[in-house]
Structure 1
Amino acid sequence: MKLTRLVGQCDEGECPTIFATDRGTLVVQGARVADHGQEIPAHETMVEIPIELIRKAIRDNLI
């Protein structure tokens, strides 16, 4: 899978970031959430990102 960085909170890539894939999907980098209390499949995880990251992506017409 090829990832293309759309928007992030820093330039180094070690912070919340949204990527586009070459499969027409999005990948989100963020902090893994362990105490969510939700039932999710074993092959999935939940991540937390700042709402401002989504707002920035929308403002910049990236998603």
Structure 2
Amino acid sequence: MKLTRLVGECEDGECPALYVTDRGTLAVQGGLLTDHGREVPAHEAVVEIPAELIWKAVRDNLI
């Protein structure tokens, strides 16, 4: 799968970011949350990103 970065918090690639995939889906990179109280399947994860990333992508017509 190919990821194309849409928006992110920094330029070094190790910060919250929003990507579009070559499958037409979105992928997020963020801090892994473990204290959320939800049951999450082993093949999934809950991550946290700043809401501003989504707003910026929408504002800039990236998604």
Task: Give the TM-score taking structure 2 as reference length.
Answer: 0.94
Unaligned runs of 5+ in 2: none
Q: Alignment length, in residue pairs?
A: 63
* Residue 31 of structure 1 pairs with residue 31 of structure 2: yes
Give unmatched runs, 5+ long, in structure 1.
none
- Structure-1-length-normalised TM-score: 0.94
1:47 paired with 2:47, answer: yes
Stretches (4+) displaced over 6 A: none
SS class of match (2:54) = helix
Secondary structure (helix, strand or coil) at the match of 1:56 reads: helix
